[in-house]
């Protein structure tokens, strides 16, 4: 309901406007009144009406002065000025300030109501346009997240120059400029779900993580399925570390509310150039890989990390503990969840935990290599592959003559296993995406069809589903859904005499105005013009297209 406020110094006039107009009956809320501008302004600040009706001549503060203050602080408030003076100068000043209407007194209640209706219509139109733009921006979030993820990849691989990174970041309204940087890699996982599965509690924590972004001076990026990346930036190293410490303290405190969620973080090293961030990422990744060697939640700082320290936790003693059982379980865990790029860090920590001195023994090196081989072989056989896919250790030759050669061999077979796992996963993901597409094709007319709905349907987290859908189809979920809806709409426009509003509802848009906005955005013309022309090639759907609706 649109709220109306009245500022009028003549009591009789004020009471007449207030009581002789059926405001509520015409859909308005008469929210307040004042006898002059000085009294009116603080009331307007508190009540925030949509329309202010004010006399132009009032004691203490007149209507023009009041209008200037209102437009400066609340430019969206529409103002109707009443005056008994038919002087053009007042009208000119009112137009300059931005008042909606300039009316002369006396004015009948019905005439005033007609003018208020005109202004209210403009307000509703602006509200509708704002809602349409907000809805469109929300639907484009998926594409934006994908572009942000791509930007982070460019940052940490050194694929682009600092100038190119700044330009790409600027297109996403991201400010990358700073004196110091650091990276934290973060993983969240519910113990009640498999990796990548949908978890309401994890989604809630991720939402709170987004809320922390501005408070702690970092930029948040998705790295599905490896979790999140936090890019901290500050003007001094002390400030940056302060932001990091404040974040880790608040984050770990938050996770105490979710005891079933396991988290692990890896902190990189501070750098003072954008081009050095790949080094920070490498160190963060090394710390992050330690999540396979501990069972509890924690955030590990690469700056204080000693090789092999975490893998020795729990009192592992080669003289009393069977390393085959312990280390094989860790290797298997990595093979299930780790990435190819992490294999180097995992193998290094794995072997550093065993001890360089132990690796001086040729017999022990052979034992470790064989144990890893059988772990990897068992894993890929469970995936349905033959163990011939991995190279057997050459125990009789010279392939394992040094600790370095042993490391290289174990890295090789572990990376091969992760490649095979991803190959099989892509096949499974293809089946998931096929099911998602079937669901979309059957339910595209449902207005509330969303990525979250689909994620719940196939029991995969929304971010993970967004990633695999894009990988499998080459387009985002929202683009696929919009293209499908637009194609159905064009068929109905060509092959039926249904009104545009009816067609909008049939293809999933309850608001016909939003349907027209999206149609013009994607097809380059309005639904009416498309129907009149009888055909249309359409334009590609781009999230960054200019709004010409």
Q: Which of the four pLDDT bands, split at 50, 70 and 90, describes residue 194?
A: low
Confidence at residue 493, expressed as pLDDT on a 0 to 100 scale: 92
- Which of 143, 383, 333, 342 lies closest to 226 in space, CA to CA? 342
Residue entry with tokens 């390393």: 323
Span 142-305 CATH architecture: 2-Layer Sandwich (3.30)
445-459 mean pLDDT: 89
- Which of 7, 72, 52 lies closest to 33 in space, CA to CA? 7
Q: What is the mean pLDDT of the chain?
A: 84
* Interval 169-185: pLDDT, tens: 998 889 999 999 999 99
Confidence at residue 306, expressed as pLDDT on a 0 to 100 scale: 59
Retrieve residue 361's tokens: 């023994």
Confidence at residue 19, expressed as pLDDT on a 0 to 100 scale: 87
DSSP 195: T
User: Is the domain 479-533 a CATH 3.40.50.720 member?
Assistant: no
Least confident range of 36-50, 327-341, 432-446, 473-487: 327-341
Confidence at residue 87, expressed as pLDDT on a 0 to 100 scale: 58
Least confident range of 88-97, 192-201, 429-438: 192-201
Residue entry with tokens 């602080």: 73
* Interval 304-317: pLDDT, tens: 875 544 444 443 33
Provide the 3-class DSSP secondary structure of residue 19: helix
* Interval 240-276: pLDDT, tens: 999 999 999 999 999 998 888 889 999 999 999 999 9
* Interval 486-536: pLDDT, tens: 999 999 999 998 999 999 999 999 989 999 999 998 888 999 999 888 654
Element (H, E) at 102: strand 101-104
Provide the 3-class DSSP secondary structure of residue 213: coil
Cα–Cα distance for residue pair 360/326, rounded to 1 Å: 21
Q: Please state the φ and ψ torsions of residue 261, each to the nearest 5 degrees.
A: -100, 125
Could you state, in order of their start, the residue ranges of all structural domains in the chain? 2-139, 142-305, 306-443, 479-533
Q: Which residues contact 205 (CB under 8 A, 6 or more apart)?
A: 188, 254, 255, 258, 261
Confidence at residue 86, expressed as pLDDT on a 0 to 100 scale: 62
* Interval 219-238: pLDDT, tens: 999 887 778 999 999 999 99
Residue entry with tokens 């935990």: 353
Q: Which of the four pLDDT bands, split at 50, 70 and 90, describes residue 398?
A: low
13 pLDDT higher than 90: no
Cα–Cα distance for residue pair 433/541, rounded to 1 Å: 21
* 252-255, long-range: CB < 8 A, 24+ apart: 252/297, 252/299, 254/205, 254/208, 255/205, 255/297
Cα–Cα distance for residue pair 457/195, rounded to 1 Å: 16
456-484 mean pLDDT: 87
Span 2-139 CATH architecture: 3-Layer(aba) Sandwich (3.40)
Cα–Cα distance for residue pair 548/517, rounded to 1 Å: 9
Q: Which of the four pLDDT bands, split at 50, 70 and 90, describes residue 548?
A: very low
pTM: 0.58
Confidence at residue 110, expressed as pLDDT on a 0 to 100 scale: 84
Cβ-in-10-Å burial (0-12, 13-18, 19+) of 67 comes to buried
Which is higher by pLDDT, 448 or 320?
A: 448
37-66 mean pLDDT: 90
Q: Which of the four pLDDT bands, split at 50, 70 and 90, describes residue 396?
A: low
**DSSP codes, 53-94:** EEESS-SSS-HHHHHHHHHHH-TT-EEEEEES---HHHHHHH
């Amino acid at each position: 309901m649109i709220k109306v406020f009245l500022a009028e110094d003549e009591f009789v006039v004020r009471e007449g406007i207030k009581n002789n107009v059926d405001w509520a009956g015409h859909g308005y809320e008469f929210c307040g009144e004042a006898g002059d501008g000085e009294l009116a302004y603080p009331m307007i600040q508190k009540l925030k009406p949509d329309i202010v009706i004010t006399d132009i001549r009032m004691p203490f503060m007149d209507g023009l002065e009041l209008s200037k203050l209102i437009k400066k602080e609340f430019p969206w408030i529409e103002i109707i000025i009443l005056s008994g003076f038919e002087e053009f100068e007042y009208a000119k000043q009112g137009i300059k300030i931005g008042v909606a209407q300039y009316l002369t007194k006396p004015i009948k209640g019905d005439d005033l109501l007609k003018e208020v209706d005109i202004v209210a219509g403009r307000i509703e139109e602006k509200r509708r346009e704002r809602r349409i733009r907000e809805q469109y921006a929300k639907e484009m979030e998926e594409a934006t997240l994908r572009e942000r993820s791509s930007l982070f990849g460019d940052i940490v691989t050194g694929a682009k120059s600092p100038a190119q990174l700044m330009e790409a970041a600027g297109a996403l309204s991201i400010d990358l400029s700073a004196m110091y940087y650091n990276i934290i890699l973060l993983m969240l996982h519910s113990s009640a779900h498999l990796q990548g599965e949908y978890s309401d509690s994890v989604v809630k924590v991720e939402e709170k993580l987004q809320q922390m972004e501005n408070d702690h001076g970092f930029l948040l990026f998705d790295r599905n399925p490896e979790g999140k990346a936090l890019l901290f930036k500050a003007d001094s190293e002390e400030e940056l570390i302060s932001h990091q410490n404040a974040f880790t303290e608040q984050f770990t405190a938050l996770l105490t509310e979710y005891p079933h969620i396991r988290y692990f973080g890896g902190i990189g090293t501070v750098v003072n150039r954008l081009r050095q961030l790949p080094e920070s990422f490498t160190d963060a990744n090394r710390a992050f890989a330690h999540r396979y060697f501990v069972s509890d939640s924690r955030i590990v700082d690469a700056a204080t990390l000693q090789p092999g320290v975490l893998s020795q936790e729990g009192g592992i003693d080669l003289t009393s503990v069977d390393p085959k059982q312990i280390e094989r379980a860790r290797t298997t865990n990595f093979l299930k969840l780790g990435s190819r790029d992490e294999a180097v860090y995992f193998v290094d920590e794995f072997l550093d935990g065993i001890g360089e001195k132990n690796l001086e023994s040729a017999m022990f090196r052979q034992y470790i290599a064989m144990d890893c081989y059988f772990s990897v072989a068992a894993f890929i056989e469970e995936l349905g592959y033959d163990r011939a896919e991995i190279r057997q250790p050459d125990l009789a030759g010279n392939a394992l003559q040094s600790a370095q050669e042993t490391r290289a061999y174990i890295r090789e077979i572990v990376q091969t296993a992760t490649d095979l796992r991803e190959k099989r996963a892509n096949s499974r993901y293809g089946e998931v995406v096929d099911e998602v597409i079937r669901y979309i094709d059957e339910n595209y007319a449902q207005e509330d069809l969303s990525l979250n709905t689909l994620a719940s349907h196939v029991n995969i987290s929304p971010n993970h589903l967004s990633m695999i859908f894009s990988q499998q189809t080459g387009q985002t979920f929202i683009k696929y859904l919009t293209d499908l809806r637009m194609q159905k709409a064009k068929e109905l426009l060509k092959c039926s005499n249904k009104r545009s509003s009816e067609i909008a509802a049939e293809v999933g848009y309850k608001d016909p105005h939003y349907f027209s906005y999206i149609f013009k955005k994607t097809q380059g013309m309005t639904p009416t013009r498309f129907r009149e022309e009888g055909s249309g090639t359409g334009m590609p759907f781009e999230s960054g297209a200019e709004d010409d609706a």
